[in-house]
Amino acid sequence: MKAQATLFQLGTDLQEAPTLNAKAPQSRQAQTEGFDNSEVGQTAYITDNVLKGPWTASDHDNDHFITVDGKKCAGKHMIIDLWGAKDIDKMDVMEAAMRKCVEVCGATLLHIHLHHFQPNGGISGVAVLAESHISVHTWPERDYAAFDVFMCGDSRPELAVGILAEAFRATEVKSDRILRGECEE
């Protein structure tokens, strides 16, 4: 039951499609034009189902593409490697660091899911954001953590680099920025 509840939260429940105006587990539901899962006997159409948030009426028509260094794109994707990292096997520290990234970067948290591997204590997980995601995979036996921070709109994912480096007291930090969905306009 717990696994099924988690799948439903992520919108991938295989037993029952979400119904129109279903209540989301967080403060807002995803904006979806509809999806067709007819291959497995399910079809659902959900439209304009924002419950609450910092959005205006014009946000429905806003694609949230931004201009960075004169280039139009969907958003910025930070690839962050932390070496010599401490506490990367502690679930509470990981969740707190992810929540701080969301807040400082100006994003909207929808859901966090973390998995703790045994016996090494590694963590894999994701913070699902209205603006995209933060994902993590850690190797405590090597004091290494790999983070992906992708955000669209006005969010500032580059601020996550310092937050994560400080939270895990990394001795070496490598980060790269990729512009996602780059287009000419």
Residues carrying an active site annotation? 132, 137, 152
Euclidean distance between CA atoms 77 and 131, whole angstroms? 11
- 28 in helix, strand or coil? coil
Among 121, 129, 169, which residue's Cα sits nearest to residue 148? 129
Q: Is 101 exposed, middle or buried (0-12, 13-18, 19+ CB in 10 A)?
A: buried
Residue 98 CA, chain-centre distance (Å), reads: 9
Q: Is the separation of the CB atoms in 137 and 122 below 8 Å?
A: yes
In this structure, what is the dihedral angle of CA atoms 11, 15, 21, 25, given to the nearest 10 degrees? -50
Distances in whole angstroms, Cα of residue 119 to Cα of each of 17, 74, 113, 126, 161: 36, 39, 19, 21, 28
The sign of the CA dihedral 97, 121, 128, 73 is positive
